[in-house]
Structure 1
Amino acid sequence: MEKFTKKTAISLALLIVASILVAFGVAEISFPETFLTVTDKDWMIDIWPKSYRYNIHVGLGAIIVAAGICIPAYKLHKDFAIRALETLFRVGIGGMFIFASIFKIQDPHQFATLVAQYQFFSTLHLDFINNFFALVYPQFELWFGLAMIFSPFVKESAFAIFWMFVSFIIALAWALGNDLGITCGCFELEDGDAHDKAEAWTSLIRDLVLIWPTLWLIFRKNRSLIKVWTEKK
């Protein structure tokens, strides 16, 4: 790793801003009423009464701006920017999958109920797979999430997570195509009663955004996060 220069500092600052915008954007799209969101806050609604209706637009806008900010960061210091982005993507995506797995592992019965609401396996007359899926899939999320962060096997971890994203996208598209009001079941185990389609749309958009950095990680060199920073080009 080269010594820290002025260009490196500016690149770092830009990437920090981009990271904050991505976190804000993903939260606006899929995690309303968290400390990272703005459009659903009372003070914002007082200023802009319909702001809560535009959370997806605001979130996507923030992510697009973040992507734009990464361009000058990359041009200023290519090597540093790539190392930083790899670190951020691995920690962010891996951490998200670890977090997503915890609730499902703790309550597989409720997760099986949420899986059943998609009516995918039942349409194929494979209802028995719901319980098996509910037991196995969260384990995949946990261990591949951990591997993404703590192991050198980024290619394999990203490949597995990429296909998990594909399965999520297919399931959500299936639910929307069949006009199902569902609870996503991605990060919390709510009841399995019918909901409107807004949650499915926001989850689908989130997954369509996050699948791209995961795809990029598949083509990165297998190495630990420590070696990302200590290994020479």
Structure 2
Amino acid sequence: MNKQAILWVLRLLVGGLFIFSGLIKVNDPVGTAIKLEEYFDVFSNDIAGFFYAFKPFALYIATALVVAEVVLGLMLILGVKLKQTIWALGLMILFFTFLTFYSAYFNKVTDCGCFGDAIKLTPWESFYKDIILLVMISFLFIFRKDLPEETPKWASVSAVVSLILSLGLAVWAIQNLPFIDFRAYKNGVSIPTNMQPSAPLQYTYVMKKGGETFKFDQYPTDESYEFVEMVLKNPEALPKISDFAAWNAESDQTEFLFAGNKVVILSSNMSKMSDANLDALTELVKSLEGAPVDVVFMAAATQEEIDAFLSKNNWSVIGLQADATVVKTIMRANPGIMILKDGVVMEKFHHNNTPEATDVLDFFL
């Protein structure tokens, strides 16, 4: 294979991977913003305090990054301003490699979100993936003089169209909800079922005796063995949901949420909760009074804050507390609405798309 063929294959591989990664995250820019906020928190504590100043702009930065991944990947394949494109991709992969190395080495952010929620990679897997990409982009950079210098007009037009489309899709996903939900709380999922192992968990027991290491499928009855560790043999059977909980001042209310018909209004941060459609939410709450459904306001806040909000807006609903990370995972809107029937997610709504009471009740027929 000659040099030009190798360069073309590298362009396809690098560009295709950037497009794939970008499209998954264009589907959910809010998820990428949440991940960036985690990094900014870690960096502000470990490196320099100024990183905290980036948190309010996380969604804008996330949107720019995911759109850039798609557009630059396409530009690389189509041959649009290749030298500048390779420079941009090189800087981007250096940034990503730093993030994934930091996650892996210091065990700070255990999921980099490289492929959103669609493909989960460990921090080290993410880092190795970025190293491979860095090597390929470096090869393109070294031999950039051998790449075509002229940009076909149709390719430039295609790049502009991809910019407009990907930006439009990202904005739509922010103002509504992700087109495709890859999370453990997607429509049709039974939350209580996802909280249980999909199969009996199997372990290997690592023991020591006389300086030798032994492995057993069952814990040995011979007390002369010294326990070393217990290794899970089928991690794929672990519960997909391990941290869901809801509670109030009285007690845990998780099982209550899984019983019967529930309309759950969620807020991951009450101080940042949008009031743009509060009137529509209030109308929904009032319209469901007396209906065979429990309306619940579940927020990552103190019970006092929740009760004060309910009193201020005259909502006669049940107020529950929840973990902020869990609420963000369930709902990419603040506030948002989740329809539950016996613990099964029937539908989720952004507050911009607050449904009518009649539409909600149709889910319980």
**Superposed counterparts of 1:1-233, under 5 Å:** 11=1, 81-118=2-39, 119-120=41-42, 122-123=44-45, 124-126=51-53, 127-189=55-117, 199-218=122-141, 219-221=143-145, 222-223=147-148
Evaluate the alpha carbon distance shift between residue 86 and residue 94 of structure 1 in structure 2; reply closer, same or farther with a 3 A threshold. Answer: same
SS in 2 for 1:180: coil
Counterparts of 2:100 and 2:5 in 1: how far apart (Å)? Answer: 31
Counterparts of 2:14 and 2:42 in 1: how far apart (Å)? Answer: 26
Residues 24, 118 of structure 2: 8 Å contact kept: no
Residues 182, 199 of structure 1: 8 Å contact kept: yes
Counterparts of 1:152 and 1:102 in 2: how far apart (Å)? Answer: 19
Evaluate the alpha carbon distance shift between residue 169 and residue 134 of structure 1 in structure 2; reply closer, same or farther with a 3 A threshold. Answer: same
Deviation at 1:176, TM superposition (A): 2.8
Identify the structure with the greater strand proportion.
Answer: 2
Provide Cα deviations, 1:23-51, integer angstroms capped at 9, x if missing partner: xxxxxxxxxxxxxxxxxxxxxxxxxxxxx
Corresponding letter in the other structure for 2:144:
R
SS in 2 for 1:101: helix
Residues 31, 116 of structure 2: 8 Å contact kept: no
Q: TM-score, normalised by structure 1?
A: 0.54
Counterparts of 1:130 and 1:211 in 2: how far apart (Å)? Answer: 25
Unaligned runs of 5+ in 1: 1-10, 12-80, 228-233
Corresponding letter in the other structure for 1:100:
S
Counterparts of 1:121 and 1:181 in 2: how far apart (Å)? Answer: 11
Q: Which is greater in Rg?
A: 2
Q: Name which structure has the greater RCO, CA cutoff 8 Å, separation 6+.
A: 1
Deviation at 1:116, TM superposition (A): 2.2
SS in 1 for 2:33: helix
Counterparts of 2:16 and 2:33 in 1: how far apart (Å)? Answer: 23
Unaligned runs of 5+ in 2: 46-50, 153-365
Deviation at 1:181, TM superposition (A): 4.6
Q: TM-score, normalised by structure 2?
A: 0.36
SS in 1 for 2:122: helix
Deviation at 1:139, TM superposition (A): 1.2
Corresponding letter in the other structure for 2:12:
V
SS in 1 for 2:137: helix
Identify the structure with the greater helix proportion.
Answer: 1
Counterparts of 2:61 and 2:102 in 1: how far apart (Å)? Answer: 17
Deviation at 1:177, TM superposition (A): 3.9
Corresponding letter in the other structure for 1:114:
K
SS in 2 for 1:169: helix
